[in-house]
Chains A and B, each alone.
Chain A
Amino acid sequence: MIRNNQARPTPEGQLEHRYDGIAKVTGKAKYAAEFTEPFPKKDLVYAYIVHSTIPSGSIASIDQKEAERAFGVIAILTPFNVPKLTSAKPHNLSILQDTDVHYNGQPIAVVLASSLPFARQAARMLTIKYNQQPAKLNFMGRLDEARPPKQGGREQPGTQRGDLAASMAKATVTVDETYITPLQNHNPMEPHATIAWWEGEELNVYDGTQYISGVKMSLARILNLPLENVHVQCPYTGGGFGSKGTAWSHVTLAAMAAKVVQKPVKLVLERNQMFGPVGTRPTTVNKIKIGADASGKIVGIQHDAIMNTSVMDDFVEHSAGTSRMLYNSEANATTEKMVEMNLGMGTYMRAPGEATGTAVLEIAMDELAHKLKMDPVQLRLVNYAETDPSRNRPFSSKHLRECYTQAAENFGWSKRNAEPGQKTEGNKQIGYGMATATYPANRSAASAIVRILPNGRVFAGSGTQDIGTGMYTIMAQTAAAALGLDPTLVDVKLGDSALPKAPVSGGSQSTASVLPAVDAAARQAKLKLFQLAMQDTHSPLYNAKDTDIETKDGHIFLKSNPSTGESFTALLTRNGAAPIEAEGSAEPGPDKNSMTTQSFGAVFAEVAVDKDTHMVQVRRVVGTYDIGTLMNNKTGLNQLMGGIVWGVGFALHEEAVIDPVYGRTVNGNFADYHVPVNADIGDIDVSVLNIPDTKFNPLGSRGIGEIGITGAAAAVANAIYNATGKRVRNYPMTPDKIMQA
C-alpha cells in the first residue's frame, strides 16, 4: 500500500519530482495563450467574443458602425458578414453560420483589435437587436416532458435485468427517494485559449486542449482542409476536466478570424465565458428505489434519472450507470431521460456519470443501512459484486474489499456512533460518513516514438497531452524503464500533432493507453540497439544472441557476464553517431469485451456542523483505492487528493445557477461560483493498494484522474446526516438547506 501521509522513499524508476515542475514554477512552461512565436509578435491580433444576452430567438441586426470606428479595431465578424463554410455545421458549436440564438451567453460575434482592451471596449459599442422567442428555462417544472436521448451516449440510456416488481415484492426494507445534483462548470485554472495563424493553406494553432488530434480533426472537417494541413500544439494544459476535450466554438472562430485578417489571432475566453460555451455538467434528478431483505441483501434497484440537455444537441450524464453495476441485486432497472433547455451544451466533466451517480446512489445506500440498522460498510459487503452484475462478466481485477477494510482502519470507523446527532464538541455536531468510489478503466489505441541519442540521452514523444496530471513524468519513466536508463536522462515531447497519435486525455485513459505505446516504442528501439551491437565487429557484444543481452544504467551487456558490454554512447558514437529511432503502438487486447475493467475505492469523511450557523467543516477525508499499479507516487496521489477536494466542493459548494427569466448563469465568476478554498479542506489521507491489473494492460496500471471525485461527495453528505440527523438530498449542501432539512 502507498499512502500520502507516510514518509516513503521514491521507488526505483520513479521521478521524485514532476518532469515539468521546475518549468511550471519558474514560469518557463508556456501555455497556449502565451506564445509569441513563430510569427512576429507585433502581428498578433486580439479577438474578443461577443455573446448573446437572450436565451432563445435570432439576431435581427448588428449595428457595428460605431464599434468599427473605435480605436484599434481591425475587423468585426458577425453572422451577417462572416465567410460561409461549405461543411455541415456541427450542432454543438456556434460559429456564426446562422443568426440562431440557443442560449444566453452564446458566441454571436468576434471583435478583432490591436489589443484586448480595445477589442473588449469595441464589443460594448455593438448594437444588437434580437427577435426573441419563448425560452425553455424551467427544468424542475418540466420534468414530465423528459424524453429518451436522441442518440445513445457511451452507455445504454435504459436497462432492465430480472423482474423488478417481483423482486421488490420480497423486500422488507425499502428506500425510495429523489436526489438532485446541480448544473456544474469545469472551471480549469487556465481559461480556454487559441492562437491561430495561417501559412498559405496550412493552419497552425496553439490551443489549450485535452485532445490535440481532436482539435486537428475538428478544424480540418469544419474548415474543409486536408487533415495534414492542420497543425496543433499544446505543450501544457492548465486543467480541462472535460471542458477541453472538445474543440468548442472559439477554436474555429480563431481560425476563421485569422483567415479574415491574414494575421495571427489570439482568442482567450474570459472566466464568465466559460459558463455555457465550453460545456456544463447537466443537472440530474434521480429517483432511486432500493429494496432489501432483512439480512440487507438487495433484491432490487430502480434508478430513473432525468437531466437537462441543450436544445442544440444531447449529452447524456450517465448518473444511473453506477446503479447498474456497483452492487449485486436480484433485479435492476434504470432509465435516463432528458429535458431540453435553452442552455449551452452538456459535456463530460470529471467522472461524468460516476461523480453524479455515486453522489446519489451512495446516499440511498446510507439511508438503507440506517433503516436496516446495519453498518454502512457491512451493507456494502453483503452486496459485494464479485463479478460485474450489469454485463454478467468477470472483472479483470477487483480488490474493493481490501479498500473498505484499509480505509476504515486508517479512518477509525469503528469509533462511529451509528445513531445520528449524538457526538458534539461545543457548538459543533460531529459526524462520520462513507461511500464507495468507482470509475471504469478505459484504454484506446495510441502510438509513440522513442529515440536513443548518441549523447546518452533518450527522447520519447507522443501526440498526447499533459493536463497537469503528470504525463511528462510517467512517459520519461516508462521509456527509461524499458531501455534500462535513469529517468532523468529522458527528454519528453508531447502536445504536438506532428507526433504519433494518441487519444483524448479524458476518461482517465492516457496512462493505460499511451504508456504501453511508449513501452512498445522503447522496446523496439532497444531491439535495434541490440542488433547494432550484435552486428558491430568492434562491439563486445558482436555475434551475441539478443536473448542473452540486457541493458541497465545506459549500458548494454551480456546477462551472464555484465562486465562484457559498453555504454549506449560508445556503441552509437562508433556507428556514425546517428540516433536509433523506433515507433510503437499499443491497443486493447482482443479479450477486451470478455471482462470489465474498473477501478474502485472506499472513501470516509468526518465533518463538524455548527448547530446555529449550519456551516459544514470537512475535518478529514480518508480514501483507499484499487487502481492497479501507481505509476508515480507524487503525481498519482496528488490526483486522488485533487479529486477528493472536488468531491468536497460537489458536496458543499458547487452550483451554476441559471436565471429563470433570462437563462443566463447568474454566478458565472469565481467570487460567486464557489469551489473549496484552503479553509474548507482538512486532512486528506489517500492510499492505493498498488495491485497490478495486467489483464488490462502490460503495465498493470489503471487511470486515476477521475476516481477521486467519486464517492467523496456522498461520504460528506452521509457524514452530515450522521452529525445532525438531517438528510439533505439536494446538492450542494449549503447552510440554508441543512437548516431547513
Chain B
Amino acid sequence: MNPFAYQRVEAPDAALQAIAIHNAKFLGGGTNLVDLMKDGVESPSTLIDINHIGLNKVLVNANGATIGALVRNSDLANDPAIVAHYPLLSHALLSGASPQLRNMATTGGNLMQRTRCFYFMDTAFPACNKRVPGSGCAAIQGFNRIHAILGQTDEGATSAHTCIATNPSDMNVALAALDAKVEIQSAKGKRTLPLADFHRLPGTTPEVDTNLHPDELIVAVTLPPAKFAKNSWYLKVRDRQSYAFALVSVAAGLEMDGDTIRSAGLALGGVAHKPWRSPEAEHALAGKPATRETFQRAAELAVAGAKPYEHNAFKVELAKQSIVRALTQASKGAQA
C-alpha cells in the first residue's frame, strides 16, 4: 500500500473542502477502496473518512424514498419501509457480498464500486485501460467469462478505448429498475443525475466509471413513489449459493392491472459496464398480458445486439431465461 494521509471529517461541507486535496478520495465502508489500495490498484494521497458526516437516514413517504449516502447496505436492506415498499431493492442488497461486508458497505460506496475484472484487480497484468489508460485490454484475449455482452467498447486488445468490464453491483441493478436518482453535491452546488446517467459505458474513456466528478460527493439516492411493491423479483445467477458476484442478474418490477401489465421496470446486471436497463423491453411489456410469450419477447429485446466473447457466450441465453423467470415470478407477487 502507498503511504497516504487520513482525514476524518464531521460534516458534508468539511468533506467537500477536504476533497480539494490533490488525489484525495472519500472513504465509505472501505470494502472496495481499501482492497484496491492494498493491491496497488488505487493510490489516493488522502482518504477523507466520511463515516461521521451524517447522511445515514432512510426516509420513505408518499413522495418516494430518500436514502442517505452513508446508509449501510444492511440497514437499507432491512429498513421496514424499504422492505414494504421497495422489496426489489432489499432483495438485491441481500443477494450481494456477505453479511460482514454489507454491514460496512455504504450506499454511496456501492454506487461507486469498481469492476471485478481480473485484469483490473491484479497489477501484475500489464494491459488494462481502466487501470492504466492506454495500456490495452487483457480481457479480450484472456478469460472473459465474467465480462460484458452489451454496450462495451471493443476496438481490439491493444486499443486504448477497449473495455469489456461489467459493473458488479446488485444494488445498482435494482436502483436502475426503480428509476432512482442520485443527489450530488460539490463546492459549486448541487445537482441530480438519473441513475441511468450516473454510470456510463466505456466509450473512448474506459478509465471513467461514472459521471460523478472527482470533487463531488454523493449525498443521497432518491426513489419515486413505489410502483412495484406488489410485483417484483430480483434474480441473481451465480456460481455458488452465496458470496459470489452475479453471472447475470435481473431486477424486474411490474405494475399490474389484473393480468395485464400497466408498466414495467427491467434491468440486468453482470452484462454491461453499467446496470443495463432496457426501455425497449419495458415498453414491450406495458399494456400486455402477463404471459410467457410477453416475457420472452421482452427478454429478446433486452439482450438485442449482444456481442459475447469466447468465455461468456452463455450469458445471452442465460440472461433471456433469467428475464423470463424473474418476470414470471414478479407477475405472481412480491418476493418473500
By a beta-carbon cutoff of 8 Å, the part of chain A in contact with chain B is 51, 53, 104-105, 117, 120-121, 124, 272, 427, 612-615, 617, 652-653, 657, 659-662, 664, 666-669, 671-672, 674, 676-680, 734-736, 739-740
Give the interface SS of chain B, mostly helix, strand, loop or mixed: loop
Contact A615 B1 (CB under 8 A): no
Contact B325 A427 (CB under 8 A): yes
Segment of B11-19, B103-111, B241-249, B271-279 engaged in the interface with chain A: B241-249
Contact A679 B118 (CB under 8 A): no
Q: Which of A121, A657, A669 contacts B143 (CB 8 A)?
A: A657
By a beta-carbon cutoff of 8 Å, the part of chain B in contact with chain A is 1-3, 40, 116, 118-119, 121-122, 124-126, 138, 141-143, 145, 235, 237-245, 247, 314, 317-318, 321-322, 324-325
Contact A662 B138 (CB under 8 A): yes
Chain A residues near B138 (CB-CB < 8 A) = 659, 661-662
Contact B242 A677 (CB under 8 A): yes
How distant is A709 from chain B, measured CB to nearest CB, in Å?
Answer: 18
CA distance A671 to B240 in the complex (A): 11
Contact B244 A674 (CB under 8 A): yes
How distant is B117 from chain A, measured CB to nearest CB, in Å?
Answer: 10
From known contacts A53-B126, A661-B142, infer whether A612 and B321 are also in contact, taking CB-CB under 8 Å: yes
Contact A666 B247 (CB under 8 A): no
Listed by A's residue number, 25 A-B pairs whose Cβ atoms lie within 8 Å are A51-B124, A53-B124, A53-B126, A117-B1, A612-B322, A617-B241, A653-B239, A659-B118, A659-B125, A659-B138, A659-B143, A661-B141, A661-B142, A662-B124, A662-B126, A668-B122, A669-B121, A676-B240, A677-B242, A677-B243, A678-B242, A679-B240, A735-B239, A736-B318, A739-B314
Contact B1 A680 (CB under 8 A): no
Contact A613 B240 (CB under 8 A): no
CA distance A272 to B123 in the complex (A): 12
From known contacts A120-B1, A653-B240, A664-B125, infer whether A735 and B325 are also in contact, taking CB-CB under 8 Å: no
How distant is B30 from chain A, measured CB to nearest CB, in Å?
Answer: 16
Contact A666 B1 (CB under 8 A): no
Chain B residues near A617 (CB-CB < 8 A) = 241
In the complex, the chain B residue whose C-beta lies closest to that of A617 is B241
Contact A104 B241 (CB under 8 A): no
Contact A679 B242 (CB under 8 A): yes
CA distance A672 to B143 in the complex (A): 12
Contact B237 A613 (CB under 8 A): yes
Contact A735 B243 (CB under 8 A): no
CA distance A392 to B83 in the complex (A): 67
How distant is A424 from chain B, measured CB to nearest CB, in Å?
Answer: 15
From known contacts A666-B118, A677-B240, A679-B242, infer whether A660 and B322 are also in contact, taking CB-CB under 8 Å: no
From known contacts A53-B126, A612-B322, A666-B142, infer whether A674 and B1 are also in contact, taking CB-CB under 8 Å: no
Besides A124-B40, A659-B138, 9 other A-B contacts (C-beta < 8 A): A53-B124, A53-B126, A272-B122, A613-B318, A614-B237, A659-B142, A679-B241, A679-B243, A740-B314
Contact B2 A612 (CB under 8 A): no
Chain B residues near A613 (CB-CB < 8 A) = 235, 237, 318, 321-322, 325
In the complex, the chain B residue whose C-beta lies closest to that of A52 is B124
CA distance A51 to B124 in the complex (A): 9
Contact A667 B241 (CB under 8 A): no
CA distance A617 to B242 in the complex (A): 11
CA distance A105 to B138 in the complex (A): 17
Chain B residues near A678 (CB-CB < 8 A) = 242
